[in-house]
């Protein structure tokens, strides 16, 4: 009887490990940048979230700008890996009416420490559970991280990116949008 329980437990452990490994492997692959799945013209919803100093930031503050919103967490390896890229692109496109905003789905203290240690130079909002609701409103039903949304000058969503963004693809999109304005 003990052997049977041991084998059942061992098999369960192997199955859980295989499932976790499969999910991790799927998250590590590069997901191509795709056009908005809800059709052109879907508007970015208005939202208000606290900044690092707990003061409220409202999405309408960025109207008439191209807005790159990145949902991330300090415990998410692909999120952490793409932060230097977003930091660089923020500097590159700052003079072209492109605003990068990070929305952390994480503990405020961990986020503040990460931002300070990594010299992040774009606004980081503290979303916690409110960020999960906003991600769902933006089409991320499974709360996958990282998740990036790009809205044009008029607030129309032109990109929903599940998983890490590639520098080449995001630059290409931003170059196209900034040239057309």
Give pLDDT tens digits for 48-93: 999 999 999 999 998 899 999 999 999 999 999 999 999 999 999 9
Report the run of H or E that residue 116 belongs to, with start and end: helix 108-118
Residue 52's nearest CA partner among 146, 139, 121, 1 is 121
The pLDDT tens digits of the residues spanning 92-125 come to 999 999 999 999 999 999 999 999 999 999 999 9
Q: What angle do CA 163, 29, 44 make, to 5 degrees?
A: 15
Asked if the model's pLDDT at residue 180 lies above 70, the reply is: yes
In a shared domain, residues 103 and 135: yes
In a shared domain, residues 2 and 74: no
In a shared domain, residues 14 and 48: no
Partners of 150 in the β-ladder: 68, 159
> Which DSSP state fits 44?
P
Res. 129 pLDDT band, cuts 50 70 90: confident
In a shared domain, residues 102 and 65: yes
**Average pLDDT for 142-152:** 95
In a shared domain, residues 124 and 157: yes
CATH number of the domain bearing residue 169: 3.40.30.10
Q: State the residue range of the domain holding 4.
A: 1-30
**Average pLDDT for 155-166:** 94
Give the range with max mean pLDDT: 7-21, 26-40, 112-126.
Answer: 112-126
Pairing of strands 56-58, 48-50: antiparallel
pLDDT for position 41: 61
**Average pLDDT for 13-32:** 46
- Cα–Cα distance between 159 and 148 in angstroms, integer? 8
Report the percentage of the chain scoring pLDDT > 90. 69
């Amino acid at each position: 009887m003990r052997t049977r329980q041991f084998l059942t437990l061992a098999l369960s452990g192997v199955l859980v490990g295989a499932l976790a490994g499969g999910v991790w492997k799927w998250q590590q692959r590069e997901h191509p940048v795709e056009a908005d799945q809800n059709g052109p013209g879907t508007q970015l919803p208005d939202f208000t979230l606290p900044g690092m100093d707990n003061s409220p930031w409202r999405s309408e503050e960025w109207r008439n700008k191209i807005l790159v919103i990145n949902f991330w967490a300090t415990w998410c390896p692909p999120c952490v890996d793409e932060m230097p890229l977003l930091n660089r692109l923020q500097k590159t496109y700052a003079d072209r009416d492109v605003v990068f905003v990070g929305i952390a789905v994480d503990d405020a203290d961990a986020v503040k420490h990460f931002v300070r240690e990594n010299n992040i130079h774009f606004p980081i909002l503290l979303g916690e559970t409110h960020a999960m609701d906003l991600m769902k409103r933006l089409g991320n039903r499974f709360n996958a991280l990282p998740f990036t949304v790009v809205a044009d000058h008029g607030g129309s969503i032109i990109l929903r990116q599940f998983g890490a963004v590639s520098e080449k693809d995001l630059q290409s999109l931003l170059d196209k949008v900034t040239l057309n304005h």
